[in-house]
Amino acid sequence: MSAIQNQDPAVYTAIVGEKKREAEGLELIASENYVSPAVLEALGTVFTNKYSEGYPGKRYYGGQTYTDQVESLAIERAKQLFGADHVNVQPLSGAPANIAAYFSILEPGDTVLGMDLSHGGHLTHGHPVTYIAKLFKFIRYKTTEEGSIDYDEIERMAKEHKPKLILMGYSAYSREIDYTRVKKIADSVGSLTMADIAHLAGLIAGGEMNNPVPLFDLVTTTTHKTLRGPRGGMIMCKSHLAKAVDKSVFPGFQGGPHENNIAAKAVAFGEALKPEFKEYARQIKKNAKTMENELRELGFKLMFGGTDNHLLLIDVSNKNATGKEAEIALDKAGITVNKNMIPNDPRSPMDPSGIRIGTPAMTTRGMKEAEMVKVAKWMDLAIANRTNEQELAKIKEEVKELCKGFPVPGIGNDSPINR
């Protein structure tokens, strides 16, 4: 009997339920993944007990011998992965990393040119509902009618608005970014550059997508998603911004770092440095391209014309469904996706026209092209039969049978709780 089961049956029941959900269903949410047993183990270590304000060698509390060791490991491994001059691994997640990065170089009222949320950007890139949008002036660029980033338009807007910062990155855009072109635009108007690679970090680390770190002033990322680490954030920057970034993270924005999480980051970065991670990154893209081709054959409308990375944004309105309806139907069929706005969506964010899917989690389980074809067909069948509970239950059983052959790393299909 586990300690949780013995002490807190209610929490234990929820853990077992989540373990069963993950083991028996297909995770297609593009921002989710499964960590390795080693990363999972690191999250539950005694490092969770330790307060460590400050940085390695410069802490405010004593007893930092081993926290310094593990944080230094995470930093050095991240530098090696991305070719970074300086790395701060303390941000608690992606949004705090972005906010700390902004405050390291911007003053209230400064102008930032970033991607519009409805065209693939992120909330923290200046959406009006966020508090950060009240402090800085965000100018948002959009994609073209063909679904690509219009670099000529970015250049025009940069010349017109003279932003302090040009921000690249996205959460629902499926194409590559020309960071070299953006850097030239920024240099021409005297702007700083920042890239949010939260979705792409693992593909960049695996050599499968362009790397902005050697070019840009600041690069932020989450450490989960394609990087397959614990939920957390990270900031990489040029040497001349190191002090400003560190000061912005602590004491500027947050207090004591979560050293258990940083230990897990160190483990994940070590995994990403291994040759097999490159093959994993390649397979993510192969699987995404297979999904693209199969879904197109099935009549789905793909935003941005397809994918160069791990995700696809799909307009399901031509299937006479809304994104919310598709999400609910797929959930009942054991396939987890998220409803998502499409460019110039006439519908609301809580009931949009699209869904977003990704292949990182399925790839982590060992699924390849043949499985992607099956999943695409199940998706089509589930959306077409979204009001047919019997048909959805049948698909769910077929999904469950497939999943038996591809255990979730770290929990398997037979362990009572995460080990």
Q: Which residues are catalytic?
A: 51, 53, 196, 222, 225, 231
Alpha-carbon span 241 to 322, nearest angstrom? 45
Q: Which residues pair with 234 in a beta bridge?
A: 221
Q: Which residues pair with 219 in a beta bridge?
A: 195, 236
Helix pair 179-189, 151-161: axis angle to 10 deg? 20
Alpha-carbon span 287 to 363, nearest angstrom? 7
Alpha-carbon span 296 to 408, nearest angstrom? 28
Distance of CA 33 to the CA centre of its chain: 9
- What are the φ and ψ backbone dihedral angles of 159, each rounded to 5 degrees? -70, -35
220 token code pair = 């932020």
State the DSSP code for 199.
T
With CA atoms as reference, report the closest residue to 258 among 225, 228, 223: 223
Q: How many CB atoms lie within 10 A of CB 400?
A: 14
Task: Evaluate whether 86 touches 238 at the Cβ level (below 8 Å).
Answer: yes
